[in-house]
Amino acid sequence: MIYFDNSATTRPSQEVIDAVTNNLNSELFGNPGSLHKLGNTAINAYDECLKECAAAIGCSKEELYFTSCGTESANTAIEGYMSHNKRAGRKIISTETEHKCTLETLTRLEKSGYEIIYVPVDKEGKPDLETLSDSIDEDTALLCFTHVNNETGSVLPIEEIIDIKNKKNRNTKIYLDCVQSLGKLPIDLRKLNVDMASFSGHKIHSLKGVGMLYVKKDIKIDPLILGGGQQNGMRSGTQSLVLATAFTRAVKDAQEKREEAYKNASEINAFLRDELTKRNAVINSPSDACPFVLNVAFEGFQSETMLHCLEIYDIFVSTVSACSSKSKKVSYVLMAMGIDRKIANNSVRLSFSRYNSMEEAKEFIKAVDEIYDKFLIKR
């Protein structure tokens, strides 16, 4: 099997599986909210997970909260900030290439009376900075952007955006979707200088069902989930030490192995770009995209057709974001970038992890050649 769909999900690493197994086989099953010995042991272990995660991504443990996924983190950050900070302004600025968890949240806020401005992106998927600058004013409460786009790998010019924001309105806050950048790009939240950020476990070889939310210590937001007041009131519900352990193990490994993984992905990406271009494929990902993602259109094959042809060879890719794939629509990300609809309709996404190899990339090219020979009369 060749798995090139790591932006959708990654397989749990053996280190994560071992950490979870050890946790399940231990006496750490107590409710972290219980006052007896087992509860104290569990809450101390949970607190240690927060400390280790904070050390890995450059913040304090008081600024981190475990969630169920990146989507919950995004919803909590955006809606929670706007709910708590009603005097900050009625305007939010974003782009149409954001993940659905951001776009759907903004749609709901717009129906509640907030003004949502979508800054256009260029052919490389980067926001038009002049339009951004013109759009920020005293009424702008929040900017919502994605660090690495999950469909094209386009990398956000975050430093330039922060400079523009500070010149126009220092009180405007920034939420950053870091789901696809964690473990791929350097993540040090103190240097990144954003106010809120979201992360997802199953994108970094952890388990599905766990994510993380970062809220800078001076930022106040309303919780999305109410109840017993766990996690300092930010996310009620009994804490899962198993999921916290899985995320912690994964984030530590992702950060420690980031440079090696980046080099590996870069070599695979460069090889595939070169070989696919020779075969008249169209590369949609910009040249400076994060190398873990390669969006490509195959002449003569619609996206879903190529996906299923590759599946015959036990090769797994995706068409659009897994969160939108069942809709069978052309990628809204590619359309927003101004890519021709026919090309967008023929596009698939290849996405890599630290476990992929150059041998797999060569087998992929061999399979593409055979697919063209078998299923397309004219090349």
Whether the pLDDT of residue 28 is over 70: the answer is: yes
Maximum Cα–Cα distance across the chain? 73
- Rounded distance between C-alpha atoms, residue 142 and residue 149, angstroms: 19
Whether the pLDDT of residue 323 is over 60: the answer is: no
Contacts of residue 262, defined as CB under 8 A and 6 or more positions apart, other chains included, come to: 184, 291
Amino acid code (one letter) for 195:
D
Residue numbers annotated as active site = 323
Structure tokens at 346: 């023929």
Q: Work out the percent of the chain whose per-residue pLDDT is above 70.
A: 97
- Rounded distance between C-alpha atoms, residue 136 and residue 167, angstroms: 10
Give pLDDT, residue 245: 97
Query: Scanning the structure block, which residue is given the tokens 């087992």?
Result: 38
pLDDT digits (tens, 9 = 90+) for 247-282: 999 999 999 999 999 999 999 999 999 999 999 999
Give pLDDT, residue 328: 57
Structure tokens at 360: 């797999």
pLDDT digits (tens, 9 = 90+) for 87-137: 999 999 999 999 999 999 999 999 999 999 999 999 999 999 999 999 999
> CA-based Rg of the chain, rounded to a whole angstrom?
21
Q: Work out the percent of the chain whose per-residue pLDDT is above 90.
A: 85
pLDDT digits (tens, 9 = 90+) for 43-52: 899 999 999 9
pLDDT digits (tens, 9 = 90+) for 360-373: 999 999 999 999 99
pLDDT, average across residues 313-323: 81
- Among candidates 134, 138, 145, which has minimal Cα distance to 91? 138
Whether the pLDDT of residue 322 is over 60: the answer is: no
Give pLDDT, residue 325: 47
pLDDT digits (tens, 9 = 90+) for 146-183: 999 999 999 999 999 999 999 999 999 999 999 999 99
- Rounded distance between C-alpha atoms, residue 262 and residue 260, angstroms: 5
Torsion angle of C-alpha atoms 178, 179, 185, 186, degrees rounded to 10? 50
pLDDT, average across residues 232-259: 94
Helices and strands (H and E) in the chain: how many: 13, 12
